[in-house]
Amino acid sequence: DAKTTQPPSMDCAEGRAANLPCNHSTISGNEYVYWYRQIHSQGPQYIIHGLKNNETNEMASLIITEDRKSSTLILPHATLRDTAVYYCIVRANFGNEKLTFGTGTRLTIIP
């Protein structure tokens, strides 16, 4: 699986959009980008995933660059409950069951 690089920490004001970047310059054509988050003292939670098109669901939007070497997770209106560690994971879907979690970005929402 391709390696990802994320900033270790970020702050965002409550009510503003939180934009979390992820670099995955070695991504292969069959690899998807997944985002999970882990709120303190809880298990990780799936947020969203994508291949090359931008994706949106009730939790977030995922913007993937045209060359697919980086992506941005957008939380449109951050709340205090969005304070968590956010993990960007890149992996293929064929013959690979594993999710390999890196160090993630610790996002703190400021009141």
Partner 1 sequence: DAGVIQSPRHEVTEMGQEVTLRCKPISGHNSLFWYRQTMMRGLELLIYFNNNVPIDDSGMPEDRFSAKMPNASFSTLKIQPSEPRDSAVYFCASRPPGLAGDPRYNEQFFGPGTRLTVL
Site for partner 1 in 25-44 (CB under 8 A): 32, 34, 38, 41-44
Stretch that binds partner 1, among 18-26, 60-68, 75-83, 93-101 (CB under 8 A): 93-101
Question: CA 37 to CA 32: how far, in whole Å?
Answer: 17
Say how many C-beta atoms besides its own lie within 10 A of residue 76's C-beta. 13
For the CB of residue 13, give the shortest distance to partner 1 in the complex, in Å: 28
Q: Which of 9, 45, 54, 65 binds partner 1 (CB under 8 A)?
A: 45
Stretch that binds partner 1, among 5-13, 21-29, 62-70, 99-107 (CB under 8 A): 99-107
3-state secondary structure of 84: strand
List the strands of the sheet with 61-64, edge to edge. 18-23, 70-75, 61-64, 55-56
